[in-house]
Structure 1
Amino acid sequence: MTARPKYSRFFEKQASNRDSTPAPQSSPIATWLAKAMTYSGLMANASQVLMLAVVVVGYFYTVRPVFQKEVVSEDLARLQLEQRKLQHQMEGQAESLLAGEAKNKDLADQRASIEKQIVTLNQKVGDAEKSARDAMLRAQRATAEAKTAESTLAGLQAQHYGLKVQSLLGQTALPSSMTHVLNRSASTLPFAVFKDEKAGSIAQKLQSLELRPLDLAKSTLSQLQEQARKNSRAPSAAIDALLARNYEKGMIEHTQDLICPTPAYADWQSAFQSAVQASEGNIRDCVRESWADRVTREGWSPSDIRNLQKTDYWKQLESSFNASCKLSYSYLMRTAFEDAWKKADEACDERRMYVNQLVMGTPFKLRLKEFTVVTPPSTEDIAKLFRNRNTKEPAAQL
């Protein structure tokens, strides 16, 4: 039961007295005190209830969380201790596992080493057996070679004597590279290329002059290989085959030294055609200079010149001057182009002459000329040379 307030009996007794006795006339102060007493009791009860609620709320929001936090902290500490213990156990097991793996690896290495030793021993046994068989075969071959050595030596001596006789009589065959160089027809030589009437075929003619050192080396290699095939049963077969192989090897190693840069044939043809077309002006100037020299040398006056111009002698002189100037210009122009072409082809021509020395790696006494780009003479160069043809100064280098 809920406890009664301590003034409840007093109020009940007062109420019963009021019921049993006639109600006296109450004063305002007494009424106010009675109400105050009633409200104070209610407020006291309400404060107790509120205090109880505050205590309950404080328990749930302060005491209980703190208690739960302590419980969780204790559990966490216990779990951490267990985790450390398990971690130590795992580390110990990992070290044991690594030690086991290292031991297994050592055992595997020992096993592989033993197997390798066994294989090596088996191979040595096989090699020893093979060496014994090879020694027997070599002994048999040596016996057979010893029997044929005398006949082979006699054949080589006879061949060597034959070569000496051929060299003495001048009958030694030239290398095919030299044969190609010597057998070039006269129509392909430079002095037969630069002609006024063949100005349109200069490029074709110059291209026919092209004889690459690499092609000469290939020709010589074919000759050596053919000779080795023909002499395959001769005593010198091995030497001929060795020479062909070494020549082929040297040709591959020195390929870059055997390749000449390709000239611009079209530029040479165009330059020559331009020089031919510019001949008329140069010839006119030449004829004018010839007339001036003749007039000065003969001491002709203007009246003498006018009289001579009406005669056939004047026409004959003019025709003679014209022909002489044409011949001089043509000769100087061809000579300039021939000299320039020889200079442009000089390095390559040197390699043609020494192609076999290059392939076989024979040392040179002189250093080979470097490849240079030589341009054909221009119309200005030809005109300058033509103007200076009668001077004693050396001609300008083109």
Structure 2
Amino acid sequence: MSPEPTAEPTPGKKNLTEFKADIYAGIPQVELVVFAVQILRNDEIPATVEEIVSFCFRLFPQSFSLKNYFYWPDSALVSRRLQDAREKGYLKGMAAEGFELKGKGKPVARRVAKSLGVELPKPKKVEPLPPVTIAADPVKVETPPLKVEPAEITPPSLEAKKPVAPKKKAIRKKPAKQTVAPVKKTVPKAKPSPVRQKAAPVTKKQVKPVTKPEPKAKPDVKVAAPVKQKAAPVTKKQVKPVAKPKPKTKQGVKIVAPVKKVAAPPKKDSIGKKRPGSGKKVAKTPSETPQAKPAQLTLGFAAPPSAKKKPEAPAGKPKVKKEEPVKVQAAPPAVHVSKEEKDKAGKIVKLMERSDAYQQYKKNGGKARISEFDFRNMLYATMESSAETLKRNVDLFKRYAGIHNRTDLITFLSFCEESFAALLNAKQPARRLKI
């Protein structure tokens, strides 16, 4: 008889050897690491990083060896693949404690084992434990004791017995009680209690009520109404005119007194009516010319002729210079205009109102001093624009102002024409910037 075939040992760390490179070349490194962890857990070996590195290098040397150093394992590569397996949910645990397969990693390990031709032991089926039956203690039933009622004993009938007469009791005489003489009780004499003397009643001093002196009624005094005193008239002090000192004149110089112009009296007609005098004024000549006496004998120098002072006009209201009225030009008659041109005219009118030149004119009126730059800027012209361009723009702006019946802007433009007449009528060629 042939011997019975021995059962194949379960794959483990001691049984498995190096696989051929063609078999595991197409399997990802992550799955190979998961397979190695499964084999280590079957052998009940803690799957630490060192164990996994050595086991992977022994089974799959070409996948887990260093480049150019084929005889040494690449531990960094293995630790990276362990981290990838943890992220994918195949493994759990830490490097120091060891790794274990999760439910998601177990089918991966079986698939790798099948491709490598290794049969993993099937997980043992956990048989359900039989239900534990606990033997119940026998229940003691306590039966209460039965009470036995005593049997009733019927006495023999009374009729059979003869009635017995009751015996008479002997009456004994009670001995006579001896009377005892009553004992007199001696009551101790009570000590005489000391008599308390009643305190003499305290006589309260009668307090006399204080009588407040009645206020003496003052006689009714009639209050006299205040008499308004008349303010004393303020006496204005008469200011004496200060006599101006006469200028000292040198010897030989005559002072000519100013000639006062006196209007001629009106002539009377034969009827008695006064005729208005002519506008001519007659000058009075002084009869005598006062001469100043010389204080000292000095050489006679001719004094410079003093400038004749004009008689000062009496102080009155300050003269106000009348401004020349600005001529307001009437707006030209309304012309039929298209809507587009009317909108364009409205924009130009708004820009004219915002310009610096119009703001100065609005503030100062006819006294406004508008600069050439502001004038040209308002007309959308540069400092090199010709006089013809400026004139054409002024006329165009007047037309736009007339479309919207803005007489104030037309007046402003006419003022600008008068102010810059020399600029608008110049026949010089346009300026050019020097480069």
TM over 0.5: no
TM-score, with length taken from structure 2 = 0.13
TM-score, with length taken from structure 1 = 0.14
Choose between structure 1 and 2: higher helix proportion.
1
Considering only CA atoms, is the larger Rg found in Structure 1 or Structure 2?
A: 2
Choose between structure 1 and 2: higher strand proportion.
2
